Amino acid sequence: MDVNEKVIKAIAEAGEPMKAGDIATAIGIDKKEVDKAIKKLVAESKLHSPKRCFYDVQK
């Protein structure tokens, strides 16, 4: 499972929008890697930001 999949899974399991730092802690990966994954997933419309610095799975 790559970082992108782990990020999506962590947010989906939380059931609510999460900050990048919280995602990094939940999946045990460096925050810089999570930030890169979030940027890519937002560009692909797989994640969205309902409020500043929080991310949620695109429905």
Neighbouring C-beta atoms of residue 54, cutoff 10 Å: 15
pLDDT given for residue 1 in this prediction: 85
Q: Domain of residue 30: give its range.
A: 3-57
Listed in order, strand segments (DSSP E) in the chain are 18-19, 47-48, 54-57
Indicate whether this model's pTM tops 0.85. yes
Per residue in 7-45, pLDDT (tens digit) is 999 999 999 999 999 999 999 999 999 999 999 999 999
pLDDT given for residue 2 in this prediction: 94
Is the per-residue pLDDT at 59 higher than 90? no
Total domains in the chain come to 1
Phi, psi of 40 (to 5 degrees): -65, -45
15: left (phi over 0), alpha (psi -120 to 50) or beta: left
User: In CATH, what number is assigned to the domain containing residue 39?
Assistant: 1.10.10.10
pLDDT confidence bin for 52, thresholds 50/70/90: very high
